[in-house]
Structure 1
C-alpha cells in the first residue's frame, strides 16, 4: 500500500491516532452498543479503513471523530445483516445503538466507565487489569503478557474469558454507586498505574516513552481524584504519577537515548508538576492513612527535593521502602529496596538481597540490570558482563537495550 507522509494521512499518522485515541473510541462505542467485543471489532475495522482512506484523502479534521463514526456505521451495517438472520445478540446490540445516539464531542468519563466495568469484582483481579490495559490503553496482547510475565497465548485466553464474563454476567457499563467504589478501587488504581508505567517505560518498540499513555493515565488519575477526593490512595497515585512525569523531559537525550535518574539535568524537570505532586503528598500525610501509592509518592518526593543526585536522602528512601515492604510486599518492591540498600550500606549487602530474588524475578530484565550494576561496583567485571547480557536479552525496548549495551561496553575487556 502506498502511504503519504506522517501527518497527512500516511501509515505513521494512523499509528499515532491509534496510540492516542484507541481507548476513547472503544469506550464510546461500548456505550453505544453495550458490548465490548462489538466495540473493539468496530474500532479495529475503522482503523483498517483509515489505512486505506487517509493516505488518499488526507488526515480528516477530527481523526478521533472519524474513527468513532466509521466504526459505529460499520458495526451497525454488520449487526443489521446478522439481525436479519434472527441473531438475538445482534438484534439486542442494534436496539441498544438506536437508543443511544452517538455523541461526537468529548465525553469526559467514558473511559472511566469502561475501567470500572473491567474492574468488576466478578472478574479475577489479574483479568481486570489485563482487560483494561487492552481496551483503555490499547496495549497489544504481547505487551500485556510482558507486563504480567506470562506467555502471550495464556494472556490471550485470559482476555477472551474476561470479556465473555462481562457479557454473560451482564456487568453494567457505568461508574458504580458510592457504596460499590471501595471494592473496585484497588484494581482501578492498579490499572491506571500500569497504563502510566507502560507509557513511561514502553515495554517494546524503538521509543522509550509513549507520551499518549502517560497523558491518559494522568487524565484518568485527575478524574478519579475529582470523583473520590477523600480517598488518600487516589491522591497518592496522582501524586506519584505527577512527580514521575515531572522528570520525563530529562529522561531522554537529544537522540532519544535513555538518561538514568542519577545523570539527569534536574533543571529540565517540570517544577509545576513537582509542586502539584508535593502538595498532594502533604495532603496524604495529613490524612494519616498510609497506603502503597502514598508511600511510593513519598519516595518520589524525596528524589524531587534533592538538588542533585548526590544530595538524595537515601536513608529516608530506605525507611520508606521498609514501610512499603511491611504493608505491600512484592518481589519488585524488594528489588527497588535493594537499590536503596546499595546507596546506604553498599553494593555487597544489596547484591545478597538481589541474588535471593533471582528464582522469582529471573525473567525480569531489570533484575539483571540491577545485579550487573552491583557486580560492576564490586569489581566483579566478568560476572557483571554476563548480567548485562542477560538484561539486554530481556529488554523489549530498543532505547533501554541500547543503554544497557553502552554500560556493557564501558566495562571494557573482561
Structure 2
C-alpha cells in the first residue's frame, strides 16, 4: 500500500508499511510463536488469517485540530498541532466519505477544536464506525455539554449530508488526559445501536461498547471459535469478557446453556438485544442464552460450579493470576482464549500448568503494525 502521509513523514502509524505484506504476516506469526515459547509446546499452529492491506479499519478515531473554520481530522504533531488524515487508505470508502461532511459540520455547528497547549476549546475527537451495511455511528467527544444545543439544532443537516448516519451521540470528556473518550454519553439520535451483520448473527454496537476494528478478520475469529466450540460439544458455555456477545452468540446450539459476562452494562444490553432477535427468528439455542453485567473474574470466583467450556476475550492485560488460577483448579474441560497481547497470553498460560495449547491461530487485525490477535484452543494436559 502506498501512502503519501507515510512517504512525507507526516504519519508513521503504519510502521511496517514498507515491508511486503506476506513478510509482515510471516514475521507476526513468528513473533507470537517466540513470545509464547514453551507455553505453546505441542500445539498445532494453524495458518495465520490475513487481512486486506487497506480499507480494513471500520472504526476511525480522529483527533480534531485546527480551527472552527478549517478543522483537521487525524492526529496531532509533536507540538500539538492538527495533522489532517482524511485521505488515509486504512478506511473503507463508506467511512472515508464521511470525513468531509463531518468537517463541514464542525464549522456549521461552531464546534471549537480543543487545543492541548492552551487547554481551550471543546471538540477533542470524532469516533466514527461503519457497519458492514455502510451505516454510520458518529460520536463527538467534547470537553463539556456546551455545544449540545447546537449539535441537536444542526444534526438534521448532517443527516442530509450523510444519509447513512444511523447513530450519533455526544461523549463528555472533561479531563485533560490521554484517553479517547469519557464515561458520559448523550444520545443525539433516536436509534442508539449500530447493527453489525456478521454472517448469520447481527450484533448491536452501542457507543461505549467494544467491537473489533477489523470487521472481516473479526468474522474469521468468530468462525474459528465456533468451530472449536462445536467440536468440543459442551453442554454449557461461559463467555467471559463477552462484550456485545460475539463469541457467546456464535456458540448457540440446541440444548446448550450459554452465559455471557461483561462489566459494561451497555454491551450487555446490546448482547441481550441480539439474543432476543434470534429468539424471535426461531434460532435454535437462542432462548438458552443469558447475559450478565458483572466483573468476569469476580463472577467466576463466586460460583460453586463451572461449565464445560469457557471463552475468554480479555483486554491487553490478560485474564490475570486470579482467573488463571481458577481455571487451573476448575472442572472446565475446554478453554477458547482470544488474546490481543501475546505477552499477557503467555503469562496467563504459564499460570495454568494443567492446560495445554492444542491449536493456535494468529489473526491479523492490524496490518502494517506489530499488533497481533491470537486465538488459542486449550484442553487439559
TM-score of the aligned structures, taking structure 2 as reference length: 0.29
Write 1 or 2 for the structure with the bigger share of helix. Answer: 1
Write 1 or 2 for the structure with the bigger share of strand. Answer: 2
1 or 2 for the larger relative contact order (CA 8 Å, sep ≥6)?
A: 2
